[in-house]
Amino acid sequence: MKKKGLTGVLLALCIAALAGCGSAGQDQTETEGSGYRDDVATSDLQAAVADELGEDYWPDTDIPAEYLSEAYGVTEDLYEEVSAQMPMISGNVDTLIIVKAKEGSGQKVEDALNAYKEYNTTEALQYPSNIGKVQAAQIKTFGRYVCFVQLGADMDGLADEGTEEGDAAAIKHCEQVNANALSVIEGMLTR
């Protein structure tokens, strides 16, 4: 009787352990892709953001893979495809990067972009007119798509640059533009 009881307990523990392993792996997959499509071209997402923002979309030059790796830390082994643009004129910092990460690489892409954002906001020298854009930059992940938005276009007419009030107005403006861009991307990726 004791052997049957012990065998039953061991069998129950093994089943529970296997079920736990199965659901842990399942949760990870669902977390990475849950609720979002993974069949949208990154160039289509970028084009939709550009259409939505119109004249307020300033990135006009594709970022080459080498520069994406060197400056942003996003290496080619981490993604299936990418659409990354910035302005040709280096005095502007408006940037949109949309990365479709390889399975299991989304967090590495997000970490690389967060490291870039941290460097950009704390160490890199910025023109005063770009501070709002840099401070308001956002990184958001939708399934396998990791997005870096640092947009804002022309901020003339906002409060005085270099003042607390001016910086706050610039950041708020850029946050709204970034939220708009991310909303377009999320809308296209939501199932």
- The predicted-structure confidence for 51-106, as pLDDT tens digits, reads as follows 999 999 999 999 999 999 999 999 999 999 999 999 998 789 999 999 999 999 99
Contact (Cβ atoms closer than 8 angstroms) between residue 139 and residue 36: no
Other beta carbons within 10 Å of 119: 13
On the question of pLDDT at 142 being above 80, the answer is yes
Domain holding 9, by residue range, is 1-34
CB 97 within 8 A of CB 147: yes
Are 170 and 15 a contacting pair, CB within 8 Å? no
- Cα distances from 122 to residues 87, 111, 161, in angstroms, run 22, 16, 19
The domain tally of the chain equals 2
Specify whether 5 is located in the same domain as 56.
no
pLDDT digits (tens, 9 = 90+) for 7-65: 443 333 333 333 333 333 333 333 344 699 999 999 999 999 999 999 999 999 999 99
User: Which amino acid would we find at residue 45?
Assistant: L
Are 59 and 152 found together in one domain?
yes
Q: Clarify whether residues 133 and 74 are in a common domain.
A: yes
What pLDDT is attached to residue 162? 62
Angle between helices 65-72 and 106-122 (to 10 degrees): 60
CA distances from 43 to 66, 84, 149 (A): 18, 9, 15
pLDDT at 34: 64
Residue 150 confidence (pLDDT) = 98
49 and 25: one domain?
no
Q: Is residue 63 within 8 Å of residue 85, measured between CB atoms?
A: yes
The two tokens of residue 70 are: 């060197």
Q: In what order do the strands lie in the sheet with 79-86?
A: 61-62, 79-86, 95-101, 145-150, 138-142
Tell me, yes or no, if the pTM score tops 0.75.
yes
Cβ neighbour number for residue 95 with a 10 Å cutoff: 22
Confidence class for position 173, pLDDT limits 50, 70, 90: very high
3-state secondary structure of 6: helix
Q: Judge if 74 and 145 occupy the same domain.
A: yes
